[in-house]
Amino acid sequence: MKKKRRSVGGLILALILIAVIVAALAIGIPYFLNFLSSNENSDSSSSDSSSSFSSSMSSDSSSSSVIDDSSSSSSSSSSSSSISSSIDSSSSTSSSVEQGFTPISYYFLDLNTYYTGDCTYIKAGDYDILIDGGARKAQGATITNFLNEHVEDKVLEYVIVTHAHQDHIAGLVGSQNASYPSGRTGVLYNFAVETLIDFPKTDATTAIYGEYLEARERLIEDGTTYLTALAALDTNNGIIELGTGLSMQILYNFYYDHEPSDSSLLDPSFSTSGFSDENDYSVAVLFSQGENHALFSGDCEEYSEKSLVDYNDLPECDLFKAGHHGSYTASSSYLLDVIKPETIVVEATVGTSEYASDANHSFPAQEAIDRFAKYTDSVYVTQVGNFDNRSYEPLNGTITVSYDSEGNQSLAFTSSSLKLKDTEWFLNNRTMPEEWRGESL
Ligand SMILES: [Ca+2]
């Protein structure tokens, strides 16, 4: 009996439940559908706003942030529409980026002067990066005018200053010139800088170094993030992601935090000081696009070059900016034997007596050339000149080394495309290394 009553009660309950469900469906489905669609809308608008938030944070509508957005929001069902819309709304480079590496171009600037100086502008995806700004204040205009044509958003995401010598910093400060909005021609007065990374150590007391400090202070007050190379190493081992398969790494140099008098710790044969303490303090940077690596070692000389090898896991480098403008004191075999460069760019006005009374030691020195020749004959130089009569002309001019989304290298020159070994200056002033005489390279 008990059992039967329970089953009758159960049947009644089941009928009531079915009736409730049917009624709920009849009333609820349109409401439920409406709820679903409004929820979808709010989802997509929230992910839209997050992508615009991240792109405004990076100050670039960079393709890398588009890719980051897609990977970070891929767990959300509405992410696919926000990815495609953000890709649609960005430039065509995004689709090529998606298929391979983010492209990178290195511009070694012809500084339009008989003075030797360093200045490399790097376009890495949508990041604008400048390493150094030589050679004298007058080159502030040359560099700023160049950057005005290349930095579309007027923001340099990174400025890296290798050391305190004027041929690396004077153009960052520039000259007084009323035709520039800031009243000065220098790069640091004409562009916003997101992050400035410079040398942890210097003995400089020069006027131009003081002016650089003023310009740096002004940027910091305007919101620029300032890091020494040593501080930059604290985050992600100095590695800064720039795009798909593309990064920049601040390298460790023993002289960031050691005195020249500590040199014997680096190598027992090293004396208390190398060729130039200030040069040895240089910030070194490695760029990597897949397996294509590019090394910038500022004016690091033999001692600090040894520390770059000993303290970092340096890869073979497709591209090397010749150490210290091609000086005989840099680009040591100890470094070259590890990086085995395939393309070498010398940023210098070659052949001048500015830094060398011995013509064989003018940039690039015979000794450096002989060491380069073991690895490559693809050596290019920005300018050629005569310091005594204050004359100069482009040699290769501004040299652009680019890597596309598949990692293929291409070279471009604003002047001659001759390799150093085929130039008139070389044939008249240097001895052809044995390796460059045959057809072996
Ligand atoms: Ca920029």
How far away, in angstroms, is 394 Cα from ligand 1 center?
28
Task: Give the other-Cβ count within 10 Å of 279's Cβ.
Answer: 26
Position with higher pLDDT, 49 vs 419:
419
How far away, in angstroms, is 60 Cα from ligand 1 center?
6
pLDDT tens digits, 61-109: 333 333 333 333 333 333 333 333 333 333 444 444 456 999 999 999 9
Return d(Cα 332, Cα 355) in angstroms, integer: 19
How far away, in angstroms, is 368 Cα from ligand 1 center?
35
How far away, in angstroms, is 401 Cα from ligand 1 center?
19
How far away, in angstroms, is 100 Cα from ligand 1 center?
21
Q: Which residues pair with 410 in a beta bridge?
A: 402
How far away, in angstroms, is 2 Cα from ligand 1 center?
82
How far away, in angstroms, is 149 Cα from ligand 1 center?
12
Asked whether 279 and 262 are in contact (CB, 8 A), the reply is no
Q: How confident is the model at residue 16 (pLDDT cuts 50, 70, 90)?
A: low
Position with higher pLDDT, 90 vs 150:
150
How far away, in angstroms, is 325 Cα from ligand 1 center?
27
How far away, in angstroms, is 197 Cα from ligand 1 center?
16
> What's the predicted TM-score (pTM) here?
0.78
How far away, in angstroms, is 243 Cα from ligand 1 center?
14
Return d(Cα 129, Cα 106) in angstroms, integer: 9
How far away, in angstroms, is 160 Cα from ligand 1 center?
14
pLDDT tens digits, 140-149: 999 999 999 9
Return d(Cα 16, Cα 21) in angstroms, integer: 9
pLDDT at 355: 85
Return d(Cα 275, Cα 163) in angstroms, integer: 15
pLDDT tens digits, 291-333: 999 999 999 999 999 999 999 999 999 999 999 999 999 999 9
pLDDT at 354: 87
pLDDT at 50: 32
Go through 367-404 and write b for each residue having 16 or more CB atoms within 10 A of its CB, e for each that does not.
bbbbbbbebbbbbbbbbbbebeeeebebbbbbbbbebe
Q: How confident is the model at residue 232 (pLDDT cuts 50, 70, 90)?
A: very high
Return d(Cα 413, Cα 382) in angstroms, integer: 9
How far away, in angstroms, is 144 Cα from ligand 1 center?
14
pLDDT at 69: 32
Q: How confident is the model at residue 352 (pLDDT cuts 50, 70, 90)?
A: confident
List all residues 6 or more positions away from 227 whose beta carbon is below 8 Å from its beta carbon.
195, 196, 197
Percent of the chain with pLDDT over 90: 72
How far away, in angstroms, is 16 Cα from ligand 1 center?
67
How far away, in angstroms, is 123 Cα from ligand 1 center?
9
State the average pLDDT over residues 10-28: 53
Position with higher pLDDT, 231 vs 18:
231
Q: How confident is the model at residue 402 (pLDDT cuts 50, 70, 90)?
A: very high
State the average pLDDT over residues 253-280: 94
How far away, in angstroms, is 61 Cα from ligand 1 center?
9
How far away, in angstroms, is 225 Cα from ligand 1 center?
15
How far away, in angstroms, is 81 Cα from ligand 1 center?
27
Go through 314-348 and write b for each residue having 16 or more CB atoms within 10 A of its CB, e for each that does not.
beebbbbbbbbbbbbbbbbeebbebbebebbbbbb
How far away, in angstroms, is 47 Cα from ligand 1 center?
24
How far away, in angstroms, is 55 Cα from ligand 1 center?
12
How far away, in angstroms, is 89 Cα from ligand 1 center?
18
Return d(Cα 109, Cα 441) in angstroms, integer: 27
